[in-house]
Amino acid sequence: MQELMMKFQEIYNGEDVRAVRSPLRICPIGAHSDHQGGRVSGMALDASVDMIYSPTEDGYVRIQSMDFPDKELFHITHDAEYIPGFWGTYIRGAVMALRQDYVLKKGINAIVSGKLPIGGLSSSAAVTTAYLMALCDANDIEVSKMDIIQYSHWVETQFIGLKNGILDQSANVLSMDNQLMVMDCLSNEHEMIQKGADMPEFEVVVVYSGISKQLISTDFNNRTDELRVGGWLLQDLSGMPITPALENVKLRNIPTEVYEDYKDQLPERLRKRAAHFYTEQKRVVDGAKAWAEGDIEKFGQLMFESGESSFYQYESGIPEMQSIFYLLKECKGVYGARPSGAGYRGAVIGLIDPAYKEEIKAKIDANYPVRHPEIKDLYEVNFCKTADGAHLVKDLEGMKE
């Protein structure tokens, strides 16, 4: 953070300097179900998107990224357009989201930087939260955590066009260190579950595959539509009232008993998608119980099962991430692992015994580059701890890197 501060002063030489730290997140269990109103779990990491900023009286937004070329510059009254592939899309969307309900008078000068490779840890939600919090702070707008989540979700669904749920934003904003966030995406209610007293020390391994791709150019939206079509057919087969609009179909509104009674009549592709959702929902419930009891072995096993289901029922994996998953599954000291994010690019995450960090990294380094030599210089193995959710940094002098 101090290095970022120095760069900010070099570029802007600003006064009234402020900061926001917005963590990356993992979803240990519950993936691919938030857009269906399902229950999900999440944790924030001590790896984050950090931003130094100061309010601007002229209403201009000026942002420079330490991770991407080019600069972003526009006035807050300008109807900014979505530009595919451009990192500035998220600040544009944040401004447009807030302008639905507020008159923005101040812009920001800012410099932003992330800590880990982008892909699979929802850096998009993290940076959007940072922008929203900074804009609200600069304009003296008071919003709740749930407001930030909803505005950030609007950016990804309405401004960018993804058909995702609120898992990423919720984990990014609501998480607390050493606790498991469990969010009901149908009611937006959540609970924070403290780890059991007997749970051993653990860390999070994040193995970046070397593959980065925007979700808008993958099968991500197709998968969500397949779940909805499967739900539509279950309604029809069971005699339930049929939801008129496909985008409003949620498997969470269809009882598990209906799925069990009629799943064999679904086309194979849709049956597999539904199977992932319903089994994943049970894993979230079982995982929350294991976490509260301090049973990290049981929790890790549920993560492995979730990963298998994501690959073979939801069919969202790529070969590189499957390689990492099975390498981690073979490693001593890995409690559990699963692909992170949508599974079309990014990372595989796992909960590990810190005593085995060197062995785990050595296993990946010895095997992954051999299996995928074309990206041998791009992958990374990182180790993280859990952390609190996004927050404004009050003590800039005391903030550690």
How far apart are alpha carbons 330 and 352 in whole angstroms? 12
SS (H, E, C) 343-354: CCCCEEEEEECH
How far apart are alpha carbons 4 and 108 in whole angstroms? 16
How far apart are alpha carbons 174 and 192 in whole angstroms? 9
CA 118 to chain centre: 11
How far apart are alpha carbons 121 and 253 in whole angstroms? 28
168 is known as an active-site residue? yes
Answer whether 238's CB lies under 8 Å from 262's CB.
yes
Give Dmax (Cα) for the chain. Answer: 66
- Other C-beta atoms closer than 10 Å to the C-beta of 362 total 13
How far apart are alpha carbons 80 and 73 in whole angstroms? 10
H/E stretch holding 304 reads helix 296-312
How far apart are alpha carbons 364 and 383 in whole angstroms? 13
Strand order in the sheet with 334-339: 334-339, 347-352, 203-208, 380-384
Distances (CA, A) of 286 to 47, 191, 301, 359, 377: 27, 15, 11, 30, 39
Query: How many residues can be counted in the chain?
Result: 401
How is residue 164 annotated by DSSP?
-
* Catalytic residue selected from 34, 50, 168, 353: 168
Q: What are phi and psi of 321, to 5 degrees?
A: -75, -30
Answer whether 349's CB lies under 8 Å from 175's CB.
no
Tokens 């210089």, located at residue:
377
Residues designated catalytic: 168
